[in-house]
Structure 1
Amino acid sequence: MRIKLFFIGLLFLASSQIFAQNSKEVLFTIEDKPYYSDEFIRIYKKNLDLVKDDSQKDLNQYLELFLGYKLKVNKAYKLGLHLNSKYQNELSSYRNQLSKNYMNDSKVTSQLIEEAYSRNLKEIRASHILISVDESVKGADTLAFYNRALEIKKRIEKGEAFEEVAQKESQDPSVRENKGDLGYFTVFRMVYPFESAAYKTPVGKISNPVRTRFGYHLIKVTDKRDNRGEITVAHIMLMKPEENTPEAISKVKQTIDEIYAKIQQGENFEALAGQFSDDKSSAAKGGQLQRFGSGQLSSEEFETVAFGLKEKGEISKPFETQFGWHIVKLIEKHPIQSIEQMKNELENKIKRDERSMIITTSLAQKLKAKYSFETLAKEYKNVEKIVNDNIYSQTWEIPAEKENIKGDIAIIDKTKKLPTPSFVNYINSQQKNKLTTKPIKKLVAELFENWKNEQLITYYNENLENEFPEFKHIMDEYRDGLLLFDLMEKEIWNKSKSDTIGLKDFYNVHMDNYKWKKRYDVDILSSTDDKVIEAAKKYLEKGKSLDYIKEKLNKEGKIVVMVKSGLYEEDYDVLKKMSNLQQGINPVTKDGSYNFLVRINKIKQPEVKTIDECKSKLINDYQQYLEATWVDNLKKEFTYKVNQEVFEKIKAQLIK
């Protein structure tokens, strides 16, 4: 799903900006279906800043791209891809996700953003005792659980140790290990009611019983500290060996210790990261990682060491995580951002949090003012009559005789009729929540109000395309883009992988594009000490092994020479800086503060790669070839006609 979103985003990046509506004229037709000028202009403007150079802004070329895009979409419909249930489900899922941006109350949302930001400035350490209560238990039925929690609080206030009471009374399974201690957390890490109580409780105090969906909690706040913010570090990582033997583990541990020794001797951290780090995504950048905050990495050990560094440039000792061994260098610490900078991030988290219910309730109240809602009294009374006391024991059933529960029970905005059975089914579904409101009439009224809120929000959601033009544009573009993704997968991507004959024919024609450069099977020795590298050269000339050389030169815990071996092309790293490389031991080469000694064991001349050796690039090139000829074939398959007069008007308008 993420790949599809990325692909569609590249086609037509969704934007919330509303462009002025242009006059709507037919720009071209495909199989007599019209496509209008306003859509072309809107999408051209939206993508104008994304193009790489001025040639891609050429309107004639853009028309060809737009026409090709619509031809592909027509092909998708012709193949019936829009009928695929997977496609329909993904389109529905995307609409549900997109609609969340419109299903809120901006004033309430702003208040929640301000509250979340204020809390985010602090990290809280707290312990808790949980008295489990089923989420469906409400009202007076929760009193016994509340009183039990209150009695426990009184025991602690009289002198019993919180930790001891937690181990005896708490129904949180983790209490056996942590004695109720939850460690440090900040905003969004706990359920909202728990979070609110924790932030409002002073250090050293215990909250009153707090109800969450898990039950009642007693929360003891043990510390509050400033949020540590975010941090940028670089690291050198050696992965744990695939062969989990003592010998293999010892070898990796020895190597990380050798690297650390070289750092302590003054060698450049970034250069060593580039040479030895197994994290290839960061090695080329001197080991630098993207900035992160507490809890954002999957290794608590790594975060603890990283945040423990105080000064820029400070370097940790080697340490182990579940991934391997690391050495970390502090690049920069970043304080908490301003509320303006964090606004979008906080809003997105609020929409995924229990806070969203506050927004939903507020939205429903606004929609009651926006839309008329007419309740049909006769049908409502009929529903009241069929609900009985069995509902309190979850045994109520919808009557088999449904004569009195047919028709419509309400009308929204004088247009959408709400069937009576819809409300009856809603009542039936709510039994699982162990309803307690009495008498029956009051319960039905309560349920009807909740159902009414849901129906108003549903009606609003269903009409977002009419309420917001930009929502309609985004959905139209995603609908076509999703179809095009499925079409590309069927016609191009899968074909390029499965069409072995076509792929081989393409390879035979273009094999000159798939060649190895000259390659060297080499041992590369490096050192910052001129005398050491010369000594290493003499040992090599005497036929000594690499292990022998390291043992002789790396003494008393001081690493003065490192070795790297493998088969590399001529433009690899330090090799590309050397000239006249010959088989055997080559002259020492200096690059910056490093001396490099290269022994070439074997030279492999340029040769054509086998299909297996270049398969990834070959398939990619074959895909591009298939796509390049695709639109020409579609133009032959479909009848299309461009209105040049309208297109000239568009050019005149956009060139101004």
Structure 2
Amino acid sequence: MKKVFLGLLLTLSFSINAQNNSKEVLFTIDGKPFYTDEFERVYKKNLDLVKDESQKDLNQYLELFVGYKLKVTKANKIGLQNNVQYQNEFKSYRTQLSKNYTSDSKVTAELVKEGYDRMKSEIRASHILVMVDENASPQDTLIAYSKIKEIRKRAVAGEDFAKLAQENSEDPSAKENMGDLGYFTSFRMVYAFESAAYKTDKGQISQPIRTRFGYHIINVVDIRKNRGEVAVAHIMLMNSKEDVDPQGVQDNINDIYKKIQQGESFDELAKQFSEDKSSASKGGVLNKFGSGQLSSQIFEDTAFSLTKENPISKPIQSAFGWHIVKLIDNYPVKTFEESKAELENKIGKDDRSRLITNSLTEKLRKKYKVKRDEKMFAATSKLVTNDYYDGKWELPENLKEYSSKLMNIETRIVSGGQFLNYIKSQQKSGIAAKPIAKLMDVLYSNFVDEQINTYYNDNLEVEFPEFASVVEEYRDGLLLFDLMEKEIWERSKTDTLGLKNFYETQKDKHKWKTRLDVAIASSTKMDVIKKALAMIKKGISIQDIKTKLNVKDVVDVMITESVLEVGAEALPKGTKEEVGFSEITKQGEYYFVTNVKKVLPEAVKTFEECKGKIVNEYQQYLEKNWVNELKNEFQVNVNQDVFEKVKNKLIK
């Protein structure tokens, strides 16, 4: 919920355009100034986004903007900014925002292009793994490398790769899958493995490649074009509802499939029977998707297996229920521009990010002046002993002796104690450089890299004014969320008496239309619907009617029971608002007959029946009154002369 709230708040209302250095005080809240540049920037961004015309009115927009700043002022007044959870969340958001500034754009662009080019194809490969730790000793590394080289030699000589994997691979799954990884594309494997696979020709075995797991050899079995995305429609019957006979659900989906084979409309059957409410009214049409985007592999594979010649699947069962899937269209892999943002996000979470970090660090080493105090470095180096290699080295009891400068980065002083704490933190990282002097050089170099990156990150607001503006707005947005949750959302949920009193004042706005308790029979055959009508009038059960009329694996009639509002799409047109049987009507290819068992007149919905909408309306009511209370609590002074100038400027 918080992510959605901040996304709407910051993307729609408070996105940053170019900085405007010309600014005046537009208004004050208890003496604190708020400036014209922010108001203008926010308004211009919103102008093309908002649909509510009232929000384009500058007088109205100023009211909204002042209300927003009043809420943030209130949040600060009651100390929400001191909440540890808030501080941690803000830190997390700032870290996310800083990623555009803490990466090398050129290296990122190259990796995006490489990832996209690889994404055009899918590779099927097998592998053999010989495990060795990333920080293993040279001797252990050589043993693992020699072993994988020997296995590769045997594979190249013609021995069965699958058998070699089953007998030699240290990947635990190899005993079952014989090293087969199936098809994959870019970003599915660790980067080094992916690169080796894409650089190996079909039918060839790669040279040994090292990842954090150890040494691999890769047998590229097949390379195929990425299958892109597919658009389908489906009819779904859920099998997880209470008091539902699973066999009955399966029988019903089979009946629907038979009706499709008989030539009946897939769209109409989806509208009548599909229990996927989000797609049923659209004839079962789903948004297009690609491999791995759905939570059901069997549904995906079925969808991609359909062709224009065979566009409809037999009933299949997923974890959600039974489906019949119909192909609408296939779509190729997205263009580079369409994929760019998604690929950049993946790179940030992938091994590739190390390449970007290393590139930025190299630039920062040139940007910032780092000067080391040789005396302090010598003093800290003397403290580190061979116990470090065994993970047994301890910090000195008195770190105060090492609190003076080890180095400075521009104006920032870094102490010897900070370096010692860093050394301790790296003790189990596997750095095994020998002797101690060499170890200290490696640790110091890594420490400098860490510190210059930290210094750069801490000063982003100084170096990039646009970043400072976005960060400030995130800070306010998080505070506002916490305040709204405390003052409005939680209150609307817990104030049951106030909520029910509010319902009493609003209930006449929440009414049921006239509803009909009906049984609806449908068929494409007039003689069948006549028989169904006669049997319903005699009181014969629905199941017995279906058994009698649906014979020889042919589904001629479907009957459903439900309570529907007059005008509902599932209610046959012309159904009268009276108890009894309708005339037989025809809509499209179908004949319908309706048995209205009961007419439920217009009625006010109970509190429980409209609780969701009432809670939402109550929240809006509370917020409106709350803003008025804030205007009484804080003194707001608008500089009308300045506002008139802003209006004239924006109207032009």
The normalised TM-score by structure 1 is 0.95
The corresponding residue for 1:337 is 334
Q: Within 2, Cα distance between the matches of 1:599 and 1:588?
A: 11
The corresponding residue for 1:522 is 518
The corresponding residue for 1:301 is 298
Q: Within 2, Cα distance between the matches of 1:562 and 1:271?
A: 13
The corresponding residue for 1:630 is 626
Q: Within 2, Cα distance between the matches of 1:444 and 1:638?
A: 58
The corresponding residue for 1:435 is 431
Q: 1:118, CA displacement in angstroms? A: 1.4
CA contact 1:312–1:330 (8 Å) conserved in 2: no
Which aligned pairs between 1:329-478 and structure 2 lie closer than 5 A? 329-402=326-399, 405-413=402-410, 415-478=411-474
Q: 1:463, CA displacement in angstroms? A: 1.3
Q: 1:141, CA displacement in angstroms? A: 4.0
Counterpart of 1:615 (choices 592, 611, 630) is 611
Q: 1:403, CA displacement in angstroms? A: 6.5
Comparing 487-496 and 571-580, the one that deviates more: 571-580
Counterpart of 2:571 (choices 550, 571, 575) is 575
Q: Is 1:8 paired with 2:3?
A: no
Which aligned pairs between 1:175-324 and structure 2 lie closer than 5 A? 175-242=174-241, 248-311=245-308, 314-324=311-321
Structure 1 residues 561, 489: closer, same or farther in 2, change over 3 A?
same
Q: Within 2, Cα distance between the matches of 1:420 and 1:312?
A: 74
Which aligned pairs between 1:556-575 and structure 2 lie closer than 5 A? 556-575=552-571
Q: In the alignment, residue 294 of structure 2 is paired with which amino acid? A: L
Q: Within 1, Cα distance between the matches of 2:47 and 2:185?
A: 41
Comparing 107-116 and 305-314, the one that deviates more: 305-314
CA contact 1:299–1:321 (8 Å) conserved in 2: yes
Gaps of 5+ in 1: none
Counterpart of 1:498 (choices 475, 490, 494) is 494
Q: 1:434, CA displacement in angstroms? A: 2.7
Q: Within 2, Cα distance between the matches of 1:512 and 1:589?
A: 35
Q: Within 1, Cα distance between the matches of 2:176 and 2:620?
A: 57
The corresponding residue for 2:147 is 148
Q: In the alignment, residue 600 of structure 1 is paired with which amino acid? A: V
Q: Within 2, Cα distance between the matches of 1:576 and 1:258?
A: 21
CA contact 2:16–2:469 (8 Å) conserved in 1: no
Q: Within 2, Cα distance between the matches of 1:341 and 1:496?
A: 41
1:578-635 CA deviation, whole Å, 9 max, x = no partner? 2533202111222222222110111111222221222111211211111121211111
Comparing 357-366 and 391-400, the one that deviates more: 391-400
Q: Is 1:600 paired with 2:599?
A: no
Q: In the alignment, residue 317 of structure 2 is paired with which amino acid? A: E
Q: Within 1, Cα distance between the matches of 2:620 and 2:628?
A: 14
The corresponding residue for 1:26 is 25
SS in 2 for 1:482: helix
Q: 1:313, CA displacement in angstroms? A: 7.8
Which aligned pairs between 1:542-553 and structure 2 lie closer than 5 A? 542-553=538-549
Counterpart of 1:481 (choices 477, 484, 487) is 477
Comparing 528-537 and 152-161, the one that deviates more: 152-161
Q: Within 2, Cα distance between the matches of 1:645 and 1:138?
A: 74
How much is the aligned-residue C-alpha RMSD, in angstroms?
Answer: 1.9
Structure 1 residues 256, 482: closer, same or farther in 2, change over 3 A?
same
CA contact 2:130–2:169 (8 Å) conserved in 1: yes
Q: Is 1:161 paired with 2:143?
A: no
Structure 1 residues 139, 460: closer, same or farther in 2, change over 3 A?
farther
Q: 1:24, CA displacement in angstroms? A: 1.8
Q: Within 1, Cα distance between the matches of 2:378 and 2:219?
A: 50
Which aligned pairs between 1:27-176 and structure 2 lie closer than 5 A? 27-137=26-136, 139=138, 141-176=140-175
Q: Within 1, Cα distance between the matches of 2:407 and 2:24?
A: 41
Aligned length: 651
CA contact 1:237–1:325 (8 Å) conserved in 2: yes
Q: Within 1, Cα distance between the matches of 2:38 and 2:242?
A: 58
Q: 1:351, CA displacement in angstroms? A: 0.9
The percentage of counterpart residues that share the same residue type is: 55
Structure 1 residues 487, 123: closer, same or farther in 2, change over 3 A?
same
1:345-371 CA deviation, whole Å, 9 max, x = no partner? 111111110000000000001111222
Structure 1 residues 140, 446: closer, same or farther in 2, change over 3 A?
farther
Q: In the alignment, residue 554 of structure 2 is paired with which amino acid? A: K
Q: Within 2, Cα distance between the matches of 1:28 and 1:340?
A: 42
Q: Within 2, Cα distance between the matches of 1:499 and 1:102?
A: 45
Q: 1:543, CA displacement in angstroms? A: 2.6
Q: 1:285, CA displacement in angstroms? A: 2.1
SS in 2 for 1:232: strand
Q: 1:398, CA displacement in angstroms? A: 2.3
Q: Within 2, Cα distance between the matches of 1:276 and 1:580?
A: 22
Q: 1:547, CA displacement in angstroms? A: 1.7
Structure 1 residues 13, 401: closer, same or farther in 2, change over 3 A?
closer
CA contact 1:312–1:331 (8 Å) conserved in 2: no
Q: Within 2, Cα distance between the matches of 1:149 and 1:74?
A: 65
Comparing 186-195 and 41-50, the one that deviates more: 41-50
CA contact 1:262–1:560 (8 Å) conserved in 2: yes
Structure 1 residues 628, 403: closer, same or farther in 2, change over 3 A?
closer
Structure 1 residues 313, 476: closer, same or farther in 2, change over 3 A?
farther
Q: Within 1, Cα distance between the matches of 2:488 and 2:309?
A: 50
Q: 1:242, CA displacement in angstroms? A: 3.8
Q: 1:390, CA displacement in angstroms? A: 2.1
Comparing 573-582 and 496-505, the one that deviates more: 573-582
Q: Within 2, Cα distance between the matches of 1:464 and 1:16?
A: 18
The corresponding residue for 1:655 is 651
SS in 1 for 2:609: coil
Q: Within 2, Cα distance between the matches of 1:542 and 1:551?
A: 16
Q: Within 2, Cα distance between the matches of 1:647 and 1:159?
A: 82
CA contact 2:233–2:285 (8 Å) conserved in 1: yes
Q: 1:160, CA displacement in angstroms? A: 3.2
Q: Within 1, Cα distance between the matches of 2:616 and 2:334?
A: 42
Structure 1 residues 401, 53: closer, same or farther in 2, change over 3 A?
closer
CA contact 1:241–1:252 (8 Å) conserved in 2: no
Q: 1:96, CA displacement in angstroms? A: 0.8
CA contact 2:15–2:42 (8 Å) conserved in 1: no
Q: 1:458, CA displacement in angstroms? A: 1.1
Q: Within 2, Cα distance between the matches of 1:45 and 1:441?
A: 60
1:558-594 CA deviation, whole Å, 9 max, x = no partner? 1121111112222322437325332021112222222
Q: Within 1, Cα distance between the matches of 2:283 and 2:91?
A: 44
Q: Within 1, Cα distance between the matches of 2:195 and 2:541?
A: 66
